[in-house]
Amino acid sequence: MKKSKSPDKSTVNLPLVNANAAGIDVGDTIHAVAVPADRDPIAVRTFGTMTCDLEAIAAWLQACHVDTVAMESTGVYWKPLFSLLIQSGFEVYLVNAKQVRNVSGRKNDEDDARWIQKLHSCGLLQSSYLPDSEQEGLRTLVRHRRTLLLDRSRCVLRMQKALEMMNVKLHTLIRDITGKTGTLIIEAIVQGNRTPEHFLTCIAPNIRADRATILKSLQGNWREEQLYLLADCYACYQFYTERIASCDKVIEQQLQQYQHQLFPETEPKPEMISTKKANRNKPEFNTCNYLKSIHGVDVMAIYGISDIAALELLAETGTDMSKWPSAKHFVSWLNLCPNNKISGGKLISSTLMKKKPNAASQAFRNAANAIQRSDNWLADYFRRMKAKGGNRYAMLATANKMATIYYKMLSCQQEFKPVDLVSYQQKYRQTKIFYLERKLNDLKKQAA
């Protein structure tokens, strides 16, 4: 009996969408590149990761008449190659690894590259959201500033621990040991003062504790190793404060370039001042003025969106909301909506995707969590959702609403129009009454 010819493993059986597609498996030391089988006798090659190797990849792809390239987002190793391919005129897809890894039998980088090339040639891959050059620069600086703030906060925690180990109860008197009073007391301790009466001159008038309580709280055992840790952590705290101030200047320059790129001929507008309560971590420049000029609308008018949150949202999402077809796509990208799984017409699961929220999603969550005690309609919605499903449920639901408002403000260039709290509560009561009346009528029909 004649054996049937085995099918060619390099053949793509699905409809061909991208005939000139290539796939790249990105790594730290090597890049595996696959092109269509008819373009080169060796359809899969491996290259190094040096600059000359990246240029060789671009030259080989051009020689193979490749138009579009797909690669996995592996760490930060993809960024140099991605930038060089964009400059060379290729259409580059940065693909989530989840879209390409659910196939067994691939044991090396060459097979991975070949599989990515096949999927991309069939049009089965979607590119991830990528910022433009100016937004990429702003995002890098804003993320660095957030890292500096986290490092500085760790220094504050270590200072507080050192004081506690010496039984100096400074945190029982003041809310923030890095405020005016706390800074003066720490500097006095670092300079060698140990007498509680000497610290009385550092106490600000707004401290409510009486003199006897202050003297008791500032008595300590003054251990040498803890004094050294306190002085060292305070020096680190001052260093990070200087670095944050320096970073703010560079961010302001980046915002000016961003503004000039979007509106090169815009005349200077009168300076705006934010009406929201100042935050101790707020940038030193006028964030509100730049954001209003770049967006065209005042996104800080949304309840809970602070200067820092608005700056992070600009750095993470940019100004072009057309990258997301609708507000639902935007909310889904932020992972602020249920990941519905439906089979046989039934809802199997509606939980959130188990992934770490990105910086934009975290900004909306923090803003939602900050308004729960406010007196506005979004805060009323938060409290109602909290009574229904708990704090996390309410935070996600309110962040979903905030993200939808943010998307519509930027995409339609409409200012935020808050709803009157009394009208909002009255409308909710009427809706609930209508729902309960309908349920009562259904029960009456069943009992008749």
Q: How far is CA 139 from CA 82, 133, 251, 399, 433, in A?
A: 17, 10, 9, 21, 48
- pLDDT the model gives residue 10: 54
Q: Is residue 274 located within the same domain as residue 413?
A: yes
What pLDDT is stored for residue 98 in this prediction? 76
Q: Which of 257, 281, 300 is the last residue of a domain?
A: 257
**pLDDT score recorded for residue 102:** 55
Whether residue 367 contacts residue 276, with contact meaning beta carbons closer than 8 Å, is answered with no
The predicted structure's pLDDT at residue 13: 65
In this predicted structure, what is the pLDDT of residue 195? 83
25-64 in b/e burial notation, b at 16+ Cβ within 10 A?
bbbeeebbbbbbeeeeeebbbbbebeeeebebbbebbeeb
Asked whether residue 49 is assigned to any structural domain, the reply reads yes
37 Cβ contact partners less than 8 Å away, ≥ 6 residues apart: 10, 43
322 and 241 share one domain: no
Identify residue 332 by its one-letter amino acid code. S
Q: What is the pLDDT of residue 30?
A: 92
Q: Do 286 and 371 share a domain, yes or no?
A: yes
Domain shared by 277 and 405, yes or no: yes
Note whether residue 438 is domain-resident: no
Residues 109, 180 within the same domain: no
Identify the band that residue 381 occupies on the pLDDT scale cut at 50, 70 and 90.
Answer: very high
Q: What is the pLDDT of residue 99?
A: 74
Output the pLDDT for position 17: 86
Is residue 5 domain-resident? no
- The verdict on 284 and 405 lying in the same domain is yes
What is the per-residue pLDDT across 189-234, written as a single tens digit (0 to 9) for each?
999 888 888 888 888 887 777 778 888 888 888 999 999 999 999 9
Of 86, 121, 156, the last residue of a domain is: 121
Task: Tell me: do 234 and 153 sit in the same domain.
Answer: yes
**Using one digit for the tens of pLDDT, what is the confidence trace for 162-172?**
999 999 888 87
pTM of the predicted protein model? 0.83
Q: Please name the residues in contact with 284: beta carbons below 8 A apart, sequence gap of 6 or more.
A: 245, 248, 249
**Per-residue pLDDT at 267:** 54
Does some domain include residue 371?
Answer: yes
What is the C-alpha separation between 68 and 333, in angstroms, rounded? Answer: 24
Residues 279 and 393 grouped into a single domain: yes
Are 159 and 280 in a shared domain? no
Instruction: Give me the mean pLDDT over the 372-396 stretch.
Output: 93
State the chain's maximal CA–CA distance in angstroms.
Answer: 105
Domain membership of residue 14 (yes or no) is no
The pLDDT of residue 15 = 80
Q: Can you give the pLDDT at residue 150?
A: 95
| pLDDT score at 276 | 67
- pLDDT (mean) for 141-157: 95
285 with 375, same domain: the answer is yes
Q: Which candidate, 281, 257, 286, places its Cα nearest to that of 271? A: 286
The pLDDT of residue 176 is 85
CATH code, domain with 93: 3.30.420.10
Say if 425 falls within a structural domain.
Answer: no
Each residue of 40-94: pLDDT tens digit?
899 999 999 999 999 999 999 999 999 999 998 888 889 899 989 998 999 999 9
Tell me the pLDDT band of 285, cut-offs 50, 70 and 90.
confident
Q: Is residue 422 part of a domain?
A: no
CA-angle at 40, arms to 34 and 44, nearest 5°: 25
Q: What value does the mean pLDDT take over residues 356-365?
A: 92
Least confident range from 149-153, 179-183, 271-275: namely: 271-275
Share of residues in the chain with pLDDT > 70 (%): 92
| Predicted confidence (pLDDT) per residue in 296-344, tens digit | 999 999 999 999 999 999 999 999 999 999 999 999 999 998 887 777 7
Banded pLDDT at 3 (limits 50, 70, 90)? very low
Give the C-alpha distances (Å, rounded to integers) separating 138 from 71, 155, 239: 24, 26, 23
| Same domain flag for 102 and 141 | no
Query: What is the distance between the alpha carbons of residues 211 and 361, in angstroms, rounded to a whole number?
Result: 46
Whether residue 397 is predicted with pLDDT greater than 80 in this model: the reply is yes
- How many domains does the chain fold into? 3
Residues 343 and 404 in one domain: yes
In a domain, 214, yes or no: yes
The pLDDT confidence band at residue 284, using thresholds 50, 70 and 90, is confident
Residues 6+ apart with CB under 8 A from 397: 381, 382, 385, 389
Which one of 257, 291, 323 terminates a domain?
Answer: 257
Q: Looking at the predicted structure, is the pLDDT value of residue 141 above 70?
A: yes
What is the per-residue pLDDT for 266? 57
Q: Is the pLDDT of residue 4 over 50?
A: no
The whole domain housing 408 covers: 270-417
